[in-house]
Amino acid sequence: MNEKPLHISELFNQFHRDVYHFALYFTNNKQDAEDITQETFLKAMKNLHQLKDPQKVKTWILSIARFTAVDWIRKQKLRRLFTITASTVTHEEDMNSRRVIGEENWKDLQQALLKLKPHYRSVIIMRGLNELSVKETAEALQCSEGKVRVDFHRAIQELKKDDSLKERWESYE
């Protein structure tokens, strides 16, 4: 019982970028990502006493972020989410062709990601972008490691089927 108590300030400093990234990739909307991040940390603050194992704090907070994001969509954003475009993002033209290809890829990839069902989207973001291990992803999604492996595989296959990504996948393979 001599463990140092976890403070919300530490939690925020360590993980606000992870939570924000998760929310941004999940919604493709900056305002929504901010709202989800805020709600996630407010929930974490209220529930910090429930965190039994401080070693699992990252998956715990991402688990809250994921529930919050799913709720967010359910509650209010579904219609807008499917019509939103990436055109709100402005950036300078880069003459480096590899970089340009990369930027095109992120837009199409983001759009394709939004078409996946929320669970697949969460698996892709946590495993592929937040770089959680299979075990950590399973903890955050509260499912078995086997399910994470299978669902990640299926989610990737879904992405590969997306018309806007087919050619690029082939160039990678």
Residue with tokens 């509260």: 142
Residues in the chain, overall count? 173
Q: Read off φ and ψ for residue 142, nearest 5 degrees.
A: 55, 55
CB of 61 to another protein, least distance (A): 9
* Residue 153 amino acid letter: H
Using the CB atoms, write b or e for 142-158: b if 16+ within 10 Å.
Answer: eeeeeebeebbeebbeb
CB of 30 to another protein, least distance (A): 6
CB of 3 to another protein, least distance (A): 11
CB of 54 to another protein, least distance (A): 14
Q: Which residues bind another protein (CB under 8 A)?
A: 5, 7-9, 12, 16-17, 20-21, 24-25, 30, 33-34, 37-38, 40-48, 50, 60, 63-68, 71, 73-79, 89, 91, 99, 102-103, 105-107, 109-110, 113, 124, 127-129, 142, 149-150, 152-153, 156, 168-169, 172-173
In whole angstroms, give the CA distance from residue 134 to residue 75.
29
In whole angstroms, give the CA distance from residue 98 to residue 66.
32
CB of 59 to another protein, least distance (A): 12
CB proximity list for 103: less than 8 A, separation 6 or greater: 91, 94
